[in-house]
Amino acid sequence: MSWEKVFFALLIFPGLLYAVPTAWLMLWLERKFRARMQGRIGPPFYQPFFDFVKLMAKRRVLRPSFDSIFMMGLPLVSVSAGLLALALLPISSDSRGFAGDLVLLVAFLEVPSLCSVLAGFASRSIFGQVGATREAILSITYNLPFLTAIVALAYSAQSLRLVDIAASPAGGVRALAVLTICLCLPVKLRINPFSVSNAEQEIYSGPATEFSGPQLAMWELAHGLEWVALTGLVVCLGLTFRTGTWIGDFAIYTSLSLVLVILLTILATGTARLKIQQAARFYWRWGMGLSLVALILGVFPDIERFIR
Amino acid sequence: MNIFSVLLKNLRMGPATLRFPEEVPYPKGFHGPVKIHTEKCICCGMCAYVCVSGAVRVAEHKDNCEWVYSPGLCTFCGKCVSVCPVEALHMAAKSAPSYFNTKALDEVHLVPYSPCPECGRPTPPVREVLRAKAFKGVAPNVLVKSLICQRCRQKDSQRALVSIQVKGEPPPSRSDK
């Protein structure tokens, strides 16, 4: 990868210039569609942008210096991790990537959750601590099937390079692995029925309870970027073909991401919050089951051939 | 019913939210701010007497009385309306608008006094409703006295007392019966 390409991916597409407006668009789409399904009007499409601007203009709350470093730094780290993860996505057919970028992507995708746990404890709020604890437990819960699915994908493609995985032929392994990653989306995005760590009726916003002003704006942005990155990951890994033209790839990628957002919103609106035990049981039973089948099929490709 | 069919129905029906000028119809018998018909008021002050929050005040002046009402203090209990002997008060069917200044919605109504038929001084008005209630079955010569002022009424009863006790005349009949 040349330096120009790296900067293009980071700052223009699918990085900063594309990702931030898309993040706001996705946050808006989720809110608007949820409102419509609940018989409400919902916000206008520029609302997340206005929220961001308004929060940025707010005064910062004075805290002990060490806490304040943490509380300003963690959301920034979270936002940067989201952007870096997006830059690694193999959206266009001419992106090359590098060996091992899958591992880096998985690490970047986990950073916002980790930051959120740290932020919950750093904020010294009891709600933040409860939320952080829940987030940490959930992270163990969903990462088991998520990582197993990633391993299965990598094994079946015999590569740790995202481009190779995206270009590998469609099959049972890939379908099952992408399905598992899809199952992990609601909990990674902290939406219903797995909104355990930011359960607003119980513990306010969980880890983000004590955050306000620019710090909260950064959290919101990080959350939006998580939406873009995770839906983008599913689309990149799930889509077996590339159009070949830059514009075509861009259009298909964006529209499928938005469709995924709508599907996730329907799920979030139609379900109620589960207890943490129920969420853990779901992921360790169904998520683990699916991803283990994918892994076995990936390690022993003869089984799939035999079934066919 | 399946939750997703409910969501689909909501999507098809569109938002149920009412835009600003539209509003949800108020229920029948809604307790809005108190309104007064000054042409019915008799300045008795019962409304001010029963008002727990001091929202209704009645101040008597020389030739009128002032009925003052502060919706900002009112609890909309409706007690003043229920005790008014002449049904001069009622409650509005809609709630008061929002405002920042507690005194912005204060209302002052003047109830003019009518002249006393005997001495001509202004006196709190006596309405037909009250006469029908309080002077029911009273002889016409006494009923005339219902309109006179407090001073004239005192003078009148003094004169009657004098005529009975000093001059030994029979008391004037109070009733037709």
Each residue of B147-174: pLDDT tens digit? 888 889 898 888 888 888 887 777 665 5
Write down the domain spans for chain A.
3-307
CB contact under 8 A, A36 and B10: yes
Is residue B50 located within the same domain as residue B71?
Answer: yes
Instruction: Choose, out of A29, A41, A265, A271, the residue to mutate when testing the contact with B (most B CBs < 10 Å).
Output: A41
SS3 letters across B84-135 = CCCCCEEECCCCCCCCCCCCCCCEEEEEECEECCCCCCEECCCCHHHHHHHC
Domain boundary among the residues B112, B131, B150 is at: B112
Name the helix (H) or strand (E) containing A33: helix A16-37
Q: What is the pLDDT of residues B95-120, one digit of tens each?
A: 888 888 878 889 999 999 989 888 88
Chain A CB contacts of B12 under 8 Å are: none
pLDDT in tens, B28-80: 989 999 999 999 999 999 999 999 999 999 999 988 999 999 998 899 999 99
In a domain, B177, yes or no: yes
B134 and B84, same domain (yes or no) = no
Q: Note whether B105 and B52 are same-domain residues.
A: yes
> Any CB–CB contact under 8 A between A39 and chain B?
yes
Cα dihedral across residues B137, B141, B147, B148: positive or negative: negative
Other residues' Cβ atoms within 10 Å of the Cβ of residue A247: 9
B112, B136, B158: which is the final residue of a domain?
A: B112
Choose, out of A38, A263, A265, A267, the residue to mutate when testing the contact with B (most B CBs < 10 Å). A38
Distance, in angstroms, between B66 CA and closest chain A CA? 47
Do B90 and B132 fall into the same domain?
no
Question: How far from each other are the two terminal CA atoms of chain B, in whole angstroms?
Answer: 75
Q: Does B121 fall in a domain?
A: yes
Contact B15 A36 (CB under 8 A): yes
Under DSSP, the state recorded for B138 is B
A41 touches chain B (CB under 8 A): yes
Within this chain, do residues B84 and B126 fall inside the same structural domain, yes or no? no
Residue B176 — pLDDT band, cuts 50, 70, 90?
Answer: very low
B101 and B145 fall within a common domain? no
Is B8 exposed, middle or buried, given 0-12, 13-18 or 19+ CB atoms closer than 10 A? middle
pLDDT at A28 over 90: yes
Answer whether A145's CB lies under 8 Å from A178's CB.
Answer: no
What is the three-class DSSP state of B36?
strand
Instruction: pLDDT band for B82, please (50, 70, 90 cuts).
Output: very high
Q: Of A41, A266, A270, which is closest to B15 when you measure between CB atoms?
A: A41
Please report whether residue B5 resides in a domain: no
How many domains, in total, are found in chain B? 2
Q: For residue A103, what are its two tokens? A: 């591992």
Q: One-letter amino acid identity for A62?
A: L
Q: What pLDDT was estimated at residue B156?
A: 86
The partner residues of B68 in beta bridges, in order of sequence, read B57, B108
Helices (H) and strands (E) counted in chain B, each on its own, are: 6, 7
Taking the C-alpha atoms of residue A232 and residue A247, their distance in angstroms, rounded to an integer, is 16
Lowest mean pLDDT among A68-77, A262-271, A299-308: A299-308
Instruction: Indicate whether B82 and B155 sit together in one domain.
Output: no
- For chain B, say whether A147 makes contact (Cβ under 8 Å): no
Chain A residues in contact with B3 (beta carbon < 8 A): 270-271
Task: Report pLDDT for B175.
Answer: 52
| CB contact A212 to B (< 8 Å) | no
- Domain membership of residue B142 (yes or no) is yes
Contact assignment for A270 to B7 by CB distance below 8 Å: yes
Decide if A272 touches B, using CB distance below 8 A.
no
Q: What is the pLDDT of residue B1?
A: 64
Task: Tell me if B6 is assigned to some domain.
Answer: no
How much is the CA Rg of chain A, to the nearest whole Å? Answer: 19
Mean local confidence (pLDDT), A91-118: 85
Residues of chain A with C-beta less than 8 angstroms from the C-beta of B4? 266, 270
Mean pLDDT of A37-51: 93
> For A158-198, how does the pLDDT look when each residue is reduced to its tens digit (9 = 90+)?
888 888 888 888 788 889 999 999 999 999 999 988 988 88
Taking any CB pair shorter than 8 Å as contact, residues of chain B touching chain A are 3-4, 7, 10-11, 13-17
Does residue B46 lie within any of the structural domains? yes
Q: Is the dihedral of CA B30, B36, B40, B41 positive or negative?
A: positive
Task: Pick the residue of A37, A263, A266 with the most B CBs within 10 A to test the interface with B by mutation.
Answer: A37
Whether B10 is covered by a domain: the verdict is no
Residues B100 and B121 in one domain: no
Query: What is the Cα–Cα distance from A208 to A121, expressed in whole angstroms?
Result: 10
CATH number assigned to the domain comprising residue B84 = 3.30.70.3270
- Domain-embedded: residue B67: yes
- What is the count of residue pairs from A and B with beta carbons less than 8 Å apart? 28
Q: Which domain holds residue B34?
A: 28-112
Statement: residue A308 has pLDDT above 80: no
B1, B2, B4, B20, best to mutate vs chain A, most A CBs in 10 Å: B4
ipTM above 0.90, yes or no: no
Closest residue by Cα to residue A157 from A217, A102, A224, A77: A102
